[in-house]
Amino acid sequence: MVKNFKYVELYVSNAKQAAHFYRSAFGFSGFAYSGPETGNDEVVSYVLKQNKIFFVLTSAITENHVISEWVKKHGDGVYDVAFSSDSVRKDYDYSIAKGASSSSDFNSIETKDGIYESASVRTYGDVVHSLVDDSKFNGVFKPGFVSYRPDNITSNEVGLLLVDHIVGNVEDKKMNTWASYYEDIFNFKSFIEFTEDDIATQYSALRSKVMKSSNNKIKLPINEPAEGLKKSQIQEYIDFNNGAGVQHIALLTTDILSTISALRRNGIDFLDVPDNYYDDLQDRVGIIDEDIKKLKELKILVDRDSDGYLLQLFTKPIQDRPTLFIEIIQRKGCQGFGKGNFMALFESIEKEQRKRGNL
């Protein structure tokens, strides 16, 4: 059974520069490295860590490598959303028997540091899910990696704790296909569904279905575009990504005020939230612990459900193409995804689309 998010691997054009960005802007620390110096003459990978979050930034050294082709097609983006597993062979065999397409076969590597087991299956677009069991491995990250502790940037953690959820954008009429895939392959269940009536503005709309693991540790919303007067933000993503892919990674914090403050100081650009969003905020969400003036200053969104409330904010795309972005989220009981913020969020996204001439 898959248990939680293990790591997120991004294919990028320049892993060294990308690692510097995520360290200096998002507060990650260097953790592990693989490249020519470790005997890998094709690929360079930097592993970054912040509490329970692991980002792997990987580039090919040569232009004719499959990773170079991936980046040429999609731009910098998420290639692998890896899950930890307590039985990789069993989970992999089950997924293949249920119709999954293999990306890499089961592999058990035994070294002086122990045993590392992995396999991977394909999902939407050119994204894969690796299944990993490193419970018997005492080395650095995985075989072939060494410790990476750059000394030119001191630790700059901003309070990010773990991956809360990861959102995929798929083509029109493909949402249910991929929801069924997760039900069949991983025994995930549908958690929440949003229709175009829930997620729509004057110009565009989308549909979304949230899949989750049985232990609630892995949540994977899946979006598809819906017909509107103009181009959906999901369709814009698919156009620039040349197909389906990971739209955003949501990272959890327990103090979003300090986290957003730190990220803004570090130069992260967030989507704009109009000041009038806060005029009737308390009427909409009730009593909250945070100072509304401070939320307004930092442009943080708030939503409530029957279990509590959440606070969230979304970055602008973190590469030149309007594709992948990051969500910062704090949960105070609420396990939803900010349905009450959809209108403000999508109007802000459309404002950016309009600037790009893509609305």
Which structure tokens are listed for 290?
Answer: 């945070």
User: Averaged over 207-224, what is the pLDDT?
Assistant: 95
> Which tens digit of pLDDT belongs to each residue from 113-128?
999 999 999 999 999 9
Q: Is pLDDT of 313 > 90?
A: yes
Considering only CA atoms, give the Rg of the chain: 20
Strands 77-85 and 128-137 turn out to be: parallel
User: Averaged over 19-35, what is the pLDDT?
Assistant: 96
Task: Give the whole-angstrom CA distance, residue 86 versus residue 103.
Answer: 19
Of the pLDDT bands very low, low, confident and very high (cuts 50, 70, 90), residue 348 is low
Q: At CA 260, angle to CA 357 and CA 55, rounded to 5?
A: 80
The dihedral over CA atoms of 73, 46, 26, 128, expressed in degrees to the nearest 10, equals 50
Domains and CATH numbers, the chain: 2-147 (3.10.180.10), 160-356 (3.10.180.10)
Task: Give the whole-angstrom CA distance, residue 253 versus residue 219.
Answer: 16
Of the pLDDT bands very low, low, confident and very high (cuts 50, 70, 90), residue 200 is low
Inter-residue contact 285 to 304 (CB < 8 Å): yes
Of the pLDDT bands very low, low, confident and very high (cuts 50, 70, 90), residue 155 is low
Which structure tokens are listed for 25?
Answer: 């802007």
Inter-residue contact 183 to 176 (CB < 8 Å): no
Q: Is pLDDT of 344 > 80?
A: no
pTM of the prediction? 0.94
